[in-house]
Amino acid sequence: MDMRAWAPAAVLGAVLSVVPSVAGAQGGLTARARVLGGYTHQTPPIFGSTHDYWTGVMPELSYLALEDPRGLLRLTYGFTAAVHTRDPVEVANRLTLVSSYELSKRTTFLLSADAYQSSLSNYLVTQPVIDTAVLVLPTFNARLLTATGGEALAWAASPSVNLAQTLEAVYARSLDPEVDIDNFFTTLVLSAEHTWNVDGLGGELRTGFASLHTAPLPDQRFVTLTAAPRWRHDYTPELSSSLSAGASLVLSPDDGSRTLVVPYGHASLLYTLGPTSAELSYAGGTQPSALIGQMLRAHVVTLRGTTPLSERGQVVLGGSVGYLHGSVVDLRPGAVPIDDFDSVVGSADLSWAVTDWMQLFVRGLFTAQNGAGATELSAREAVTLGIQLSTSPADGIVVPRRLPQRVDGTDVTPLR
């Protein structure tokens, strides 16, 4: 096997080197195994396949460390082996780290990382439904190494003044020699906010850098600078909102590049009631795409949520649907404009915990897009059925990956 397939281990190892020690923590190791199969129908030109039946296994090890109440860390490694009727045998690896630390009574630190070696088709099918994002897909099915790291630091300077800093980095590289992809981008956000009883008013500064290399497209580098005021409001203990709007300056260190100013905006409604949650969000502005190696000017609307259909029977429904309308940003002088494009991604998952150690699940996925390298509408529908066996029941702890949206902070309190 290509040794680059194990590169996620090196990526996660580097992240672990800066994680606070959890040697004295209490936690546990859980082993899981999923046996699953499915059917995929694809409409050209994406992936060049029409029908595919497949079956596979997904063993997984997950370790949870606790420093109650100050720290949580979950480390998970998963392996996938699948046999397809139209595609070759597929092997994938994934490493995930999620951690949350209360450095003091007024300071919170979050750190997360994901490293994934997989083909694009397997990545789409095996992603958790709640994590499904609206993507612009390339017109190939290469094996990819993707790595994502995120960090957030929040400090309550006073009972009514909050300061925060977040950093995100994304890297994507092809593991197939015939596909040349090597893309990287990072975003740093600084924010300050004054809070009242149910309101938070402040602003944020964003700066980003992207280095995009996807042959045969020309290499490009981008720098983005964004300033936007922000308002948060808790309507009820269940419903809250967040709204920010401003402008972004897009430029490039490449010789002869133009400069562009575009509107920036983000809005969301969040509903949480016990184990039920739903979020409707809008994002507008520029964003780099690690998969197609382009800077996009896009409008994205996403609705996602999860709810138990039967708490007693432990039947849970989750789903996500999103729509993207965008265009390619090209700052080179004389660049020929590319037509706008649209992308839709939807997924749903129904799971039933038959016992503490056995779970049944069914999942559906739908993607469709036009433009962005495709000469006609391309679509994909997939259905997956499976059973999961576990050495222990779910621990009921959700380690937060992001800072709270609600002013009272209850939407990211670790669930136990």
Residue closest to 265 by CA, chosen among 332, 345, 347, 206: 206
The rounded distance, in Å, linking the Cα atoms of 291 and 174 is 9
Residue closest to 272 by CA, chosen among 111, 413, 140: 413
CB distance 119 to 140 below 8 Å: no
CB distance 359 to 315 below 8 Å: no
Please give the distance of CA 265 from its chain centroid, rounded to a whole number.
19
Name which residue leads in pLDDT, 328 or 77: 77
pLDDT at position 340 over 90: no
pLDDT digits (tens, 9 = 90+) for 275-330: 899 999 999 999 888 878 888 899 999 999 999 998 887 899 999 999 999 888 88
Mean pLDDT of the chain: 83
pLDDT digits (tens, 9 = 90+) for 178-189: 888 889 999 999
The rounded distance, in Å, linking the Cα atoms of 125 and 238 is 32
CB distance 210 to 182 below 8 Å: no
Query: Which residues make Cβ contacts (< 8 Å) with residue 136, sequence separation at least 6?
Result: 289, 291, 292, 294, 296, 324, 326, 341, 343, 369, 372
pLDDT at position 170 over 60: yes
Instruction: Check residue 1 and give its pLDDT.
Output: 38
What percentage of the chain carries pLDDT values higher than 70?
Answer: 84
Strand partners of residue 34: 58, 388
pLDDT digits (tens, 9 = 90+) for 24-69: 345 689 999 999 999 988 876 555 557 888 899 999 999 998 766 6
pLDDT digits (tens, 9 = 90+) for 82-125: 888 876 788 889 999 999 998 888 899 999 999 999 887 777 76
* Lowest model confidence (mean pLDDT) among 95-104, 197-206, 364-373: 364-373
pLDDT at position 10 over 60: no
Instruction: Check residue 127 and give its pLDDT.
Output: 67
Q: For the chain, what is the radius of gyration of the CA atoms?
A: 22
* SS3 assignment for 22-49: CCCCEEEEEEEEEEEEEEEEEECCCCCC
Query: Which residues make Cβ contacts (< 8 Å) with residue 174, sequence separation at least 6?
Result: 142, 143, 144, 145, 180, 181, 182
pLDDT at position 234 over 90: yes
To which H or E segment does residue 11 belong? helix 7-16
Residue closest to 112 by CA, chosen among 99, 103, 102: 99
Name which residue leads in pLDDT, 219 or 27: 219
Instruction: Check residue 131 and give its pLDDT.
Output: 61
Strand partners of residue 391: none
> How many other CB atoms are there within 10 angstroms of residue 237's CB atom?
12
Tell me the mean pLDDT in the region 130-142: 65
Q: What Å distances lie between residue 16 and 19, 37, 70, 74, CA to CA?
A: 5, 34, 18, 11
CB distance 266 to 291 below 8 Å: no
CB distance 284 to 300 below 8 Å: yes
Instruction: Check residue 371 and give its pLDDT.
Output: 65
CB distance 345 to 322 below 8 Å: yes
The domains found in the chain, sorted by start residue, are 3-412 (2.40.160)
pLDDT at position 16 over 70: no
Instruction: Check residue 21 and give its pLDDT.
Output: 40
Task: Give the tokens for residue 18.
Answer: 């800066």
